[in-house]
Amino acid sequence: MPADANAFQTALALILGMDPVLLGIVALSVQVSLSAVLIAALLALPLGAALALWRFPGRGAIVVALNALMGLPPVVAGLTVYLLLSRAGPLGQFGLLFTPTAMVVAQVILILPIIAALTRQQIEELHQEYREQLTSLGLSRLRMIPTLLWDARLGLITVVLAGFGRASAEVGAVMIVGGNIDGVTRVMTTAIVLETSKGNLPLALGLGLVLLGLVLLVNAAAYLVGETARRRLG
């Protein structure tokens, strides 16, 4: 198929030529998803650890809800944030709809349950092993949290990266709350959707390749970090 082969060549030329439009879109994508993953991790890591350590009424319901929300459809997350941020919504006065901030909020909602639920599992396992020793040393549960998070760090890196992968790959939520505005809220996934529907296959393909490369890079880095650390620390 010469047309597609041609599109592929043009896509490579766009990437290698550092096309400014393409670069701008990539930069915004990375910026939005990194902010989202950072905020979500800061909230979800301690939350997951706390859920692993404390038993309280309603805990089971929260765990089930988090596990279920791991599969939250991005468009639903987007719709929720849209309703909150739209002019008539409870947070409408801040005028955040169709800004990168709104996109970060939507992605945080999307990946927070993933990080929290997986963190709970990992910390619960580690706590089984460490509980007696740490209790013997005189640690309260609150003081165990940083220790457990640090010692589970290898597994948690993968968890956080899973969150990043989900955030950078989803399209529904950022499309709804961002609006895919050129130069303002256009990210890789929304641009791919738009360019494909316009028939501008080279740019769509170029963005697709960059997205794929980014995800590969992040996962390769995680694998290397994990393997070396596992070999070194036992």
Partner 1 sequence: MNDMPRRFVTEVPALVLDGVGFTHRGQRLLGPLDLRLEGCRRTLVMGPNGAGKSLLMRLAHGLLTSSSGRLQWEGPTPRQAMVFQRPVMLKRSALANLTYALAVNDIPRTRRRLLAREALERFGLAALEKRPARVLSGGEQQRLALARAWLTRPEVLFLDEPTSALDPAAIKAVEDAVLEFHAAGTRIVMSSHDLHQARRLADDVLFLNAGRLIEYTDAATFFTAPSSREARAFIRGELVL
Interface residues with partner 1 (CB under 8 A) are 129-130, 132-133, 135-139, 143, 147, 151, 154, 232-234
Q: In whole angstroms, give the CA distance from residue 137 to residue 118.
A: 27
CB of 58 to partner 1, least distance (A): 24
Chain position carrying tokens 């301690």: 46
As a whole number of angstroms, the distance between CA 94 and CA 96 comes to 6
In angstroms, give the least distance from the CB of 45 to partner 1.
17
Closer by beta carbon to partner 1, 57 or else 138: 138
CB of 78 to partner 1, least distance (A): 39
Residue closer to partner 1 (CB basis): 26 or 222: 222
Nearer to partner 1, 24 or 155 (CB): 155
Q: Nearest Cα to 177, choosing from 229, 107, 224?
A: 107
Pick the closer one to partner 1 by CB: 21 or 139: 139
CB 186 within 8 A of CB 180: yes
**Residue 68 or 137 having the CB closest to partner 1:** 137
CB of 117 to partner 1, least distance (A): 23
d(CA 175, CA 101): 13
Q: What 3-state class would DSSP assign to 19?
A: coil
Q: At closest approach, how far in Å is the CB of 225 from partner 1?
A: 14
Residues 13, 4: Cα–Cα separation, whole Å: 14
